[in-house]
Amino acid sequence: MPGFADRLNGISVSASAAMTDKASELRSQGLKIVGLSSGEPDFPTPDHVIEAAIEAARSGDTKYPPQNGKPALRKAIQEKFLRENNLHYDLDEILVANGAKQIIFNAMMATCNPGDEVILPTPYWISYADLARLGGAKVVQVPCRPENGFRLAPEDLEAAITPKTKWLALNFPNNPTGTCASKEDLESIARIMLKHPQVWIMTDDIYEHLVYDDFKFYTLAEVEPRLKDRVLTVNGVSKSYAMTGWRVGYCGGPRNLVAAMNNMQGQATSGINTIAQAAAVAALTGPQDFLKDRAAEYQKRRDLVVGLLNDIPGIKCHTPRGAFYVYPDITDCIGKQTTSGRTIDTDTDFVMALLEEKQVATVQGTAYGLSPFFRISYATDTDTLREGCRRIAEFVASLR
């Protein structure tokens, strides 16, 4: 039988996608699954966005688009960066892709060579590591300690940088912990990175509008303009505007880097769906007030879930200030047995037993590079969250 490419060695299916698929399989068997594994807003795409897409289709906006994004969308992104982040990018410094994931893929493939290193503050979004490895790079993890609120310590970052470092990837608010970076945090990171001009820096700002407790969001190039010529600012419409299925991500960055990424994209997908681009223009240029309303609803859900989890003996849950995830510590559950006799040796054992015995789908911390934790998404209704936490409490109480 013909073989497969070596580049796939060590590349795995996303753990969150795998858990969602497993939950769907169990649902098909008639089980009532509480799904807390998927990072997808339960809110609908705004009506004016849908109407813009319909109008684009009816008006004939159905031909091949420019590879780097239609001018109207890149102009809307340019205005968004200036309005919300105090960043100016020329139109040829902006790239549109099939979700933020393709932006990151383009960047890794366009810059990384075998032997390069990509620094990932840990825990990190699952795909960062695999995308870096696909580019031929080695992943260097920098643990962000729970006792420090999962914030990146500047001294730990500096210790991880070597002459081989090609990228530092930052994600605030963070998936899976919900940790946010204050202006002071970013200034500390910037001071380190100014000393290392050979390193590109990616800031994944996809959860930018999902912040709580009056937290003010900043992005790195805004805080330290001297780094702007090395920073790739990544964003998209998926999370804030509840447009996951539309697949629109974008970035602003140095002209030469964006051109290289566009070259890579041209060989993978070319330009993205014209109808989705029209929808994204409407999202970025239309009413924005509803974003605060939705963030307020997420904050209520966060408070509910954190409170319920911290009432469970054996679980410790920090209070995140952004995104829509919590990352509870289950150290006290490790080594125990379930009622069926299964031993919980790892957080993977924990989430699999929780799914199979209590029908609650979550994601193991191992997938994000830090154990023993598990991730819960609270991007769903409060009844589902209450029921999920009730089942988790029953499961943990039954461990012996």
**Given a cut of 80, is residue 265 above it in pLDDT?**
yes
Domains of the chain: 6-44+290-398 (3.90.1150.10), 47-285 (3.40.640.10)
The whole-number pLDDT of residue 3 equals 87
Q: What is the pLDDT of residues 169-205, one digit of tens each?
A: 999 999 999 999 999 999 999 999 999 999 999 999 9
Give the pLDDT band of residue 299 (cuts 50, 70, 90): very high
Q: What is the pLDDT of residues 38-61, one digit of tens each?
A: 899 999 999 999 999 999 999 999
Q: What is the pLDDT of residues 1-33, one digit of tens each?
A: 888 888 888 787 777 778 778 878 888 888 899
The whole-number pLDDT of residue 154 equals 96
Sign of the dihedral defined by the CA atoms of residues 147, 149, 155, 160, in that order? positive
The whole-number pLDDT of residue 73 equals 98
**Given a cut of 90, is residue 255 above it in pLDDT?**
yes
Give the pLDDT band of residue 236 (cuts 50, 70, 90): very high
> Out of 28-32, 121-125, 334-338, 395-399, which region has the weakest mean confidence (pLDDT)?
28-32
Which is nearest to 119 in space by CA: 169, 70, 155, 154? 169
Higher pLDDT pick, 101 / 16 = 101
Q: Output the six-digit token pair for 206.
A: 């996809």
Is residue 174 within 8 A of residue 203, CB to CB? The reply is no
**Given a cut of 90, is residue 395 above it in pLDDT?**
yes
**Given a cut of 90, is residue 378 above it in pLDDT?**
yes
**Given a cut of 80, is residue 372 above it in pLDDT?**
yes
**Given a cut of 80, is residue 360 above it in pLDDT?**
yes
| Helices 255-268 and 99-111, packing angle to 10 deg | 110
Which is nearest to 111 in space by CA: 270, 256, 272, 266? 256
**Given a cut of 90, is residue 110 above it in pLDDT?**
yes
Which is nearest to 184 in space by CA: 196, 172, 195, 198? 172
- Rounded to the nearest angstrom, the gap between the alpha carbon of residue 334 and the centroid of all alpha carbons in its chain is 27
Is residue 233 within 8 A of residue 81, CB to CB? The reply is yes
